[in-house]
Each structure stands twice: as C-alpha cells, then as structure tokens.
Structure 1
Amino acid sequence: MPARLCPEVRRLLPRRAHGTRRSRRYPKIADALGGGRGCSVSTGWIRRLMEDLVAPIRKHDEHRSRKTTLGLTIRDIVISSGLLALFAAFFARGGRFVIDLPKPSRLADVNVTNGVSSETCGPAPQDGHTIIVEMLYSGDKRAWIDEAATRFAKICPTIQIKATSASSVEGADAILKGEVKPTIWSPADDLVLRYFDARWREDHDRSPFDITKQVSLVRSPLMVLIWEDRLEVLGAIFEKNKNGEGQWVNSLCPGVPRDPQNLDEMALEHKVPGTWSDWYDSVVPAALPQPPAPAARRVDKRTKRAYIAPFPTVDEIKRWGQVKITHPSPTRSAEGLEALYLMAYEYALPPSDRPAALQERIKEAFEQPAKEGGIVRGDLAEADFARSFQERREPFQRWLERCEAGAPPPTASADVLTDAMFSLGASRYDAVVTQEHLIFGVFQQIDMHADVMTEVRVVYPQPTIVNEHPVVIFDDGQITAEQRTAAEKWIGFLRSMEMQKLAVKRGFRPVNTELKLRNIEDTENPFLKFRRYGVELDTTFVEAPRLDGKFVAELTRAWRDATGRH
C-alpha cells in the first residue's frame, strides 16, 4: 500500500493531489513517492526529478486559476451592470411597482365626474377644507346609516358625516340638556319632534328647527310580534268580545276596569294585567259548551308540509299565566311613547265615539283595493281626542297605574325588547310592540332554529302609527351656509333611489313612491322573504290623530306618575 505523502512533497504537489495516494492525474508522482514508511527526499537527484515532474502541472494549474478568476470578474461586472440598469429604469418610472394605467381622457371623464360631484355634494370649499355635518339619529337605523355614510364619504370626500345614534326620546333629552349639538336630527317619529319642541319652548323663545319642514327618510309602521298560539286565542277573544273597547286597551290591559278604585289598598304586584285564562273565560265561559277547535293551518318549516294545529286547550291557556303583551319605555323610546299614545287615544276615544266623518273615511279606504303605502290619517278626530282626554285624564292615570305599576321595568328600546322575545321565549313575553323593520332579525333566527322554535306572527293593529323617521336641520344661529348645503346634500343622498333600495334590505319601507317592495327582486328583500310570517306588502294603515307636543309631554308625565318610574 502506498505511503502517505510527507510535508516536503505535499508543498510541491497541487492541492487537488493532497488528498489521494494514487492520483489518476499524477500516477508517476504517486508511484515515485509511494511505498514504504517515512519520506526520504534528501538526495538531490530525487528532488530535481520531482520538481521536473511537478513543474508542468503547477504551471498548468496556475494558468487555469488565472483564467477562472478573470471569468468570475467579467461575470460580476455583467450582473452588476444589469442590476444598475434595472434600478435606473425603476426610479425613472417614479419608484412604483404597479404598472401605470392609461390616463383618463379629460374631455370625457373629468367633466362627468365634476358634474356628478357638484350635483350630489354641492360646491367644493374654496380652501379645500372638510365640511363637518353632525347627525344624531335613532339607533334602530344604525345599519342603514352606517353603510350609507361609508358610500357617501367615497362620493363626497369634502363632506364628513359624524353620525351618533341614540334612542329617540333619550336623544331629545340629550339635546335639551346641551349634551349634544347636532347639525341634523332624525328620531323615529314626528311625535318625538313634537315632544322636543314643546319642552324646548319652555325655556326658549323659538325652536331650533322648523317642524313643518321635516323630511321623511324611510317608513316603518308600529306593529305587534306575537307567538302563533297566543294569536289564535287572541283572535277568538276579539271575535267574541263586544265591550266596545279598542285593540290597544283590550290587549295591553285585559281585565283592568276603566276606572279602578282604592288603588292605595292594592298590593303593587297586583297592579298588572289579568291572566289569559280569566280573559278567555270572560268571553267564552267555562260553563258553556266548549266551541269546536278552530282549524289553524300551519306549514312545517322542515318538511314544507301543511298540517292542522289544534286550538290550545283550557289547561294550556291556564299555564300561560298573566297576559304579557309588552311595550318598551315611553320615556326612552319612540315605540314605547307611541304605544302609550295609542292606549290614551283608545281609552279617551273608543271606536264608537269617533267622528262619523273619520269612520266613513276609513270605510272608503278599505273598500278600495289595498295598495302599497296607503295611510288613512286620523286628523278628523284631533279635536275630539284632545277634549275627551282632558275630561278623562284622572281615570286614565288610575287605569294606567292599575295596569302597569306592578309590571317589570320596561326595556329601554324596541330593538332590545324584540331580541329579548326571541332569546327569552313565550315564558317571558307573549307579544311585544315594536317597529316592523326590527322583526326581520327575529325571523332570520327562527329560520335557523326551525326544528325547535315556535312560530311567530306579525299583527298590524288598527289604529297604528307609521314611523316616518323624519329629519330636521338645526338652525341655532351658528350653522354656516356651507354646512346647511352639505346637510341638504346628505339628506338628498339618503332619499336617493339607491339608498332607498338599501333601506328596503334593512327592513324599511321606502318613501320614494316610485320604488315598490314587490318589484325589488332580491334575495335580501325581507318583505318577500318573510311573507309567511304575516308580513303584508299591500296594506292600508289607519293612523291615530297627532296632537301637539304639549299633549305628548303631559302624557309622559301621566305615565311617570302612574308607574312611579322615570
């Protein structure tokens, strides 16, 4: 076996030959230096022989190394030059990685853009500053207002909408206390504007807005959301009840006499409506033969098959306990105020006492084919309502105390109450008074739990109040001309066809008469999607007469005195 190379020889060999004892490239050197142990190169002729053998190979390797180094140098120069050329081109284009799009034609696009901007947004400020519009609005419009404001900001970047939500009556109180100073205000209904106007004039000479110039943004009628089995019993009661009272008095305070006495001797927990069992027995006495069970046709949501649901038995009705048809707080929400207003209207002016001219107007309206957006105004009964209420104010307050003083505290808003009906179920609420646009979320949740949820139904009571969601511009002497213009443009944008369609998707009825609910063929149109729950497209709403703000303020004081709540 060849011996390892000694250090002297290693220095003379090329590096690639160091790691081998028999190199295919240097066989002579390996043979000459191989064999035996040790390394003996002391004689001159061996050294000269080795140098003669190695010299040509070393010269060849040195030439190859110089050639390789030169090649690397040329390659580095080429790569560096290419990179420099790329960077130069990059910065010459402005340092942007995105390819420039063709510039728009100034003759076509710029003029159109300026025209749309001026029509929708008004003239741009000369110095380019942003015009701020402070908007206070009822919280039930939040989803619609937020999305509309986002779209408006993209179209009109010079106008900034600062939108703040609050329940309608709480918003009015916040303005009265000076906690907020909006440019525009949009509560749920005109009754709240009237309430605010009366309260404001107690301390000021003039109102900060002209109530006659209010503009409606969207519509949403007051209605009742009720569990289906309760509705069947309620329908049977109304069919046989001949006491002459209206729906609001009968359904929210059943079993409560019109002029209760000795309330000081009654326990607070007894100052609540009567029970379902007592109410039903008062109309269909137990001593009489039970009527045949009405046939209630239902459709199973899972199998889509129709079936006949039996009328609730007497024992089932007894288990329902107290009648719990509930409204939100009248001093914090528009819906609660409207429910109280309708109770006062029907208490002070029962159906049989209303003017013959109003009854004839209602009759004629219902003889005509129902049309979308039809409203019968109750203005013909304004004088009779105001006079009769003043005559019956004290018994009304006693009746209200007997009905609601012992009830649980009302919820602050209709949207919270509507959600609570779904989450807490029929054991807590038989029905709730709310606005129409708030019910579609409940229907969506019920559809998601169709196998276990009881059916609910929509009831459009007569009379009712159609929430117009009015908006007014505050003029306290500090609003600028450009702020007023910007506010008007924002209001016009909310009333545009596109935003009205968006409002329909959020459950509102449009104020634009050219837009029809049934013509919006969209899977997100809740009026078409949830008709099986009793949602009506073509219906006529009969409204109660609207009295002035002083009456509304007096009505809220009567409720506070009757219930002991604020």
Structure 2
Amino acid sequence: MQSVTRAIGIGYLLICLLALLATAFVGPVGYAPFPLPIGPAQDPVVVTIWYGTEKRQWFEDAAQRFAATNPRVGNRPIQVVLRGIGSRELSVRAARREFGGDGQPTVISPASSMWVEVARTDWAALNPGAPSFITENPGQVTPLALTPLVAVIWQERAQLLWPQGPENFWQNLHAALTDSEGWIGVARARGFAPGSPEYQKASTWGFVKFGHTSPLTSNSGAQALILMAYGYHGKSRGLTNADVLSPEFQRWMRDVEMAVLEFGDSTGSFMTSMVQFGPSKYDLVLVYENLALENIVAAQNRWGDIRIYYPPATMFSDHPYAILNAPWVTPEQRQAAEQFRNFLLSPPIQEIAFRQYGFRPAIPDVPVITNDPSNPFNKYRAYGVQVDTPPLVETPSGEVVTTLLDLWRRQINR
C-alpha cells in the first residue's frame, strides 16, 4: 500500500515539474489542481489612444466591451488606455512628441481627418527625412463615425431668432449678436411690440449669449470659423486666403467672436456646460449633432427643450482612427490597435454608437432610416434632428486653415 502511495506522490511531483518547465518556456499552463503562476508573466500589449472627447462615452463603453472579449496578440492580453484631448491639441502634441502625462500614443483619433493631415505635416517638418508619422497605408486611417456641426439653442430663443427657420443663419446671428439691445432688439426686429408676451420675455434675457470652442484647441471651433467664412462669402467651396484676409470679413468675424463669452477647449465638455448652467450662460452654441442628441433629455429635465438647427451648409466630422508609424509604436501594438479598430467598426458596436450616442454609422451595414422608435432620427425629430443634412462645404486647404487660425489668434485670442 505504501508503494502505491509513494508512486502516486512521485507521479504528482513529476507532473508538477513538467508544468513548471512548460510554464517557464511558454507561460502559465494547466488547470486545477495545477494553477501554477510560476514563470514569466505575460505583459499586456498597451494601446494608448488619444481621442477627441466628443466620443468619450462611446469609446469608454466600447473599450469595456472589447476587454470583455479577452483580446490578445499571440499569448499577450490587450489593454486599451484612453486619453480624451481636444482634437487640434492632440494632433499637434503627438506630432511634436509633447506627451506630458498622457503617455505615448499608439493611435490618434481626432474629430476630423483635417487634424490627421495637420499632424502628418507637422511631423514631416520637425523630422525631415524620417518615415511618415502616420503610415501611408489607407487601411491604417479609417473613419469610425460621422456627425455634422449643428446649432443648439433653447426652444424659446429659437422661436424668436429663427421663427421661419435658419435660412439666413449667419446674417440673423450676426445681427442678434451686434444689437446693442440684445434680445429686445431681436424681438423688435421680428415685429413684436412692447407689451407683447414675446417682447416681455426677451426683456429678461439680456444680450444674446453665443458660444463655440476655441479653434486653437478644438475641431468644432475650427469648423465654426470655416463655416463663418463660407457663410459670409456666400459660397460652399474654394475658400481662399484672399477671402480670409478681406477687411470686410475680418470686421464681420470680429463682431461675432467678440460677442462670445467663453471659448471652450473641448466640444464634449462645452456641451455639458451648456446643460449644467442653462440659458443663464448660453442661449445657443455650435456643437456636434451627436452631442446635441445625447443631451436632449438632460437639458429638458433641467431647463426645458432645446432645438437643433443645421447651418445652410455644414461640415461632417469623420472621427478617423489613425495608427501611428512612430518609433515608439511596436508591431504588437499595431496589431492590437487594428483589433480594437475592427471591433469599433463591427455592426454591433456601430449600432451602439448610432442608437445610444447619436453618431451616424461609418459602415453601410447599419442603416439610419428605420421605422423603430428607438432610432434617434425618429425619437428626436420634434427637436429638429433630420436624416438629410444641408450641403457640405469643401474642406479648405491646410494653408487656408492656417491663415484663418492665425487671423483668429491675432484678433481674438490675444
């Protein structure tokens, strides 16, 4: 009996020894009763993503769902680290290697491809002769979701500013912002006499309080300037440096911008601020459509209904996912970044982006025209959301964008 017991013990020890040897070479192996954590730990492949904060909730949701699938590169787990930063800031900082406490990015995902090109240009200027900062492979820069720039305004203000709709969007806005009587002047311009209910309400609102983010740190702020320039010149393509440097346009832009009380750094936090503080802080703001949809209920519960208006010509943000070709990005990190990108573009996650967070899908597999009431374009139609957007303006050249931003920096952001 003792010999049998001894044989079993020796056999157990041999099995443990084999498990130890296997663990030392290939990592943890075995099942209970052999959960042996001895041997080299499998460090995670860390994918650090610098992204525009307007998609914070979707990205955080998607990252949790991705982690639940136990993603791996070879035998190493994938860890996604998210860093929310303003679109222009993240592109410029990445190209200049100004990492701060946000870590070295594996991926940048600003709100618009315009900033990917800015990053690429900055990198080339700072690193002459070095390989491209962002690989030239088209598959490495992929749109994740679409959303146009819209105006969000409190319902009562909308009825006074644009009673027939925003056909003269920029002209009406400029007139309202420069009227020395504020909302009283708007009411008078719309034909409401003193003593009328509309006039009485307007008399309590003060000046027209307009806001958008800083074009020096945020994509939506830069888009706002571009749309202003196109709107003033009455065209939708071919914006030139001469248009931007026109003294008449400069005066008109300065009128509008000097009426802005505060320029936010990030569109996501900017929209949150509007909902938190209500019409005492902002009457209307320029933000992304998805943020407007995301905050309709919260605004209603705090201050009342908001209304969504589309400028007569607008711009889409395509939220590119750009895997970097930088010296600090390893092949394993690129593989892991590709896995997360493919996950974000899968129909279930695109469906979540659309139905829960208001983004227009980047893939044709997820339709935006459906009959079900949970579709945001059905659910929020009464608030002004619409499937068909106005015509899109042409994205100006990098040179024109730079001139426009320089003009704003010189005249507004002193």
Question: Which bracket does the TM-score occupy, shorter chain normalised?
Answer: 0.7 to 0.9
Preserved CA contact (<8 Å) 1:198 1:553: no
Match of 1:397 in 2: 250
Which residue type is aligned with residue 386 of structure 1?
Answer: T
Preserved CA contact (<8 Å) 2:150 2:287: yes
Preserved CA contact (<8 Å) 1:237 1:283: no
Structure 1 pair 482–522 and aligned structure 2 pair: CA distance change class (3 A)? farther
- How far the C-alpha of 1:462 sits from its partner, in A, is 1.9
Match of 1:532 in 2: 382
The alignment partner of 1:346 has SS state of helix
Structure 1 pair 446–184 and aligned structure 2 pair: CA distance change class (3 A)? closer
Match of 2:393 in 1: 544
Which residue type is aligned with residue 343 of structure 2?
Answer: F
Aligned partners of 1:325 and 1:397: how far apart in 2?
18
Preserved CA contact (<8 Å) 1:333 1:413: yes
Structure 1 pair 129–319 and aligned structure 2 pair: CA distance change class (3 A)? closer
**Does 2:134 align with 1:209?**
yes
Aligned partners of 1:415 and 1:326: how far apart in 2?
13
The alignment partner of 1:316 has SS state of helix
Match of 1:33 in 2: none
- How far the C-alpha of 1:546 sits from its partner, in A, is 0.5
- How far the C-alpha of 1:465 sits from its partner, in A, is 1.0
Aligned partners of 2:57 and 2:289: how far apart in 1?
15
Q: Percent identity?
A: 28
Equivalent of residue 362 in structure 2, options 483, 503, 511: 511
Q: Tell me the matched-pair count.
A: 360
Structure 1 pair 410–478 and aligned structure 2 pair: CA distance change class (3 A)? closer
Which residue type is aligned with residue 149 of structure 1?
Answer: A
Which residue type is aligned with residue 93 of structure 2?
Answer: A
- How far the C-alpha of 1:251 sits from its partner, in A, is 1.4
Preserved CA contact (<8 Å) 1:222 1:335: yes
Equivalent of residue 131 in structure 1, options 37, 45, 48: 45
Aligned partners of 1:547 and 1:499: how far apart in 2?
32
Preserved CA contact (<8 Å) 1:255 1:279: no
Which residue type is aligned with residue 159 of structure 1?
Answer: I
Aligned partners of 2:376 and 2:403: how far apart in 1?
38
Match of 1:48 in 2: none
Match of 2:23 in 1: none
The alignment partner of 2:240 has SS state of helix
Alignment of 1:283-362 (within 5 A): 284=191, 313-347=198-232, 349-350=233-234, 354=235
Aligned partners of 1:140 and 1:211: how far apart in 2?
26
Aligned partners of 2:400 and 2:306: how far apart in 1?
35
Aligned partners of 2:163 and 2:377: how far apart in 1?
27
- How far the C-alpha of 1:129 sits from its partner, in A, is 5.4
Equivalent of residue 488 in structure 1, options 338, 363, 369: 338
- How far the C-alpha of 1:478 sits from its partner, in A, is 4.7
Which residue type is aligned with residue 507 of structure 1?
Answer: G
- How far the C-alpha of 1:252 sits from its partner, in A, is 4.7
Match of 1:412 in 2: 265
Structure 1 pair 477–255 and aligned structure 2 pair: CA distance change class (3 A)? closer
Alignment of 1:228-307 (within 5 A): 228-236=155-163, 247-252=169-174, 254=176, 275-282=182-189, 284=191
The alignment partner of 2:339 has SS state of helix
Structure 1 pair 561–237 and aligned structure 2 pair: CA distance change class (3 A)? farther
Preserved CA contact (<8 Å) 2:150 2:288: yes
Alignment of 1:416-431 (within 5 A): 416-431=269-284
Aligned partners of 1:327 and 1:273: how far apart in 2?
21
Which residue type is aligned with residue 515 of structure 1?
Answer: V
Match of 1:455 in 2: 305
1:478-534: CA deviation from partner (whole Å, max 9, x where unpaired): 5333332322222111100111012121221111112123548575x5444333322
1:49-86: CA deviation from partner (whole Å, max 9, x where unpaired): xxxxxxxxxxxxxxxxxxxxxxxxxxxxxxxxxxxxxx
Equivalent of residue 144 in structure 1, options 39, 48, 58: 58
1:240-287: CA deviation from partner (whole Å, max 9, x where unpaired): x9xxxx52354156465xxxxxxxxxxxxxxx9872333454565x8x
Which residue type is aligned with residue 389 of structure 1?
Answer: D
Match of 1:372 in 2: none
Match of 1:18 in 2: none
- How far the C-alpha of 1:408 sits from its partner, in A, is 2.4
Aligned partners of 2:142 and 2:175: how far apart in 1?
35
Root-mean-square deviation over aligned CA pairs: 3.2
Structure 1 pair 424–484 and aligned structure 2 pair: CA distance change class (3 A)? closer
Structure 1 pair 509–399 and aligned structure 2 pair: CA distance change class (3 A)? same
Which residue type is aligned with residue 215 of structure 1?
Answer: T
Preserved CA contact (<8 Å) 1:229 1:312: no
1:212-239: CA deviation from partner (whole Å, max 9, x where unpaired): 8331101121111111222122224778
Structure 1 pair 401–133 and aligned structure 2 pair: CA distance change class (3 A)? same
Preserved CA contact (<8 Å) 1:276 1:317: yes
Equivalent of residue 561 in structure 1, options 403, 410, 414: 410
For structure 2, list consecutive stretches of 5 or more residues without a partner in the other structure: 1-11, 13-40
Structure 1 pair 312–426 and aligned structure 2 pair: CA distance change class (3 A)? farther
The alignment partner of 2:353 has SS state of helix
Match of 1:185 in 2: 108
- How far the C-alpha of 1:458 sits from its partner, in A, is 1.1
- How far the C-alpha of 1:387 sits from its partner, in A, is 5.5
1:338-397: CA deviation from partner (whole Å, max 9, x where unpaired): 1111112222x21xxx4xxxxxxxxxxxxxxxxxxxxxxx5xx22xx21542551x4433
**Does 2:365 align with 1:442?**
no
- How far the C-alpha of 1:134 sits from its partner, in A, is 2.1
Alignment of 1:365-404 (within 5 A): 381-382=237-238, 385-386=239-240, 388-390=242-244, 392=246, 394-404=247-257
Which residue type is aligned with residue 336 of structure 1?
Answer: G
Preserved CA contact (<8 Å) 1:195 1:552: no
- How far the C-alpha of 1:434 sits from its partner, in A, is 0.8
Match of 1:23 in 2: none
